[in-house]
Amino acid sequence: MAHPKRKISRTRRDKRRTHDKLGFKQLIKDPKTGEVSQYHRLNLETGMYRGMKVIDVNEQA
């Protein structure tokens, strides 16, 4: 296994880890129902995705 020749400083280590933090999720408000949800997600209650009926809700139950 490879071992570092010198100790990596805290600053250098933390610079590398700046991209590991979690970001905010994009939310969208449904124009018909007014419900807030994430982008690119199917609404399981109505079976709608981007204004189109994708699945029949009655078949799921």
Residue 46 forms part of a structural domain: yes
What digits encode the pLDDT tens for the residues 25-56? 889 888 777 888 888 888 888 888 888 889 88
Token pair for 23: 């970001």
Residue 41 forms part of a structural domain: yes
Residue 42 forms part of a structural domain: yes
Residue 43 forms part of a structural domain: yes
Q: Report the domain count for the chain.
A: 1
Predicted TM-score (pTM) of the model is 0.44
Domain span at 33 = 24-60
Residue 31 has a pLDDT of: 79
Residue 60 has a pLDDT of: 53
Residue 6 forms part of a structural domain: no
CA-only gyration radius of the chain, Å:
22
Residue 47 has a pLDDT of: 85
Residue 40 forms part of a structural domain: yes
- Helix, strand or coil for residue 58? helix
Residue 51 forms part of a structural domain: yes
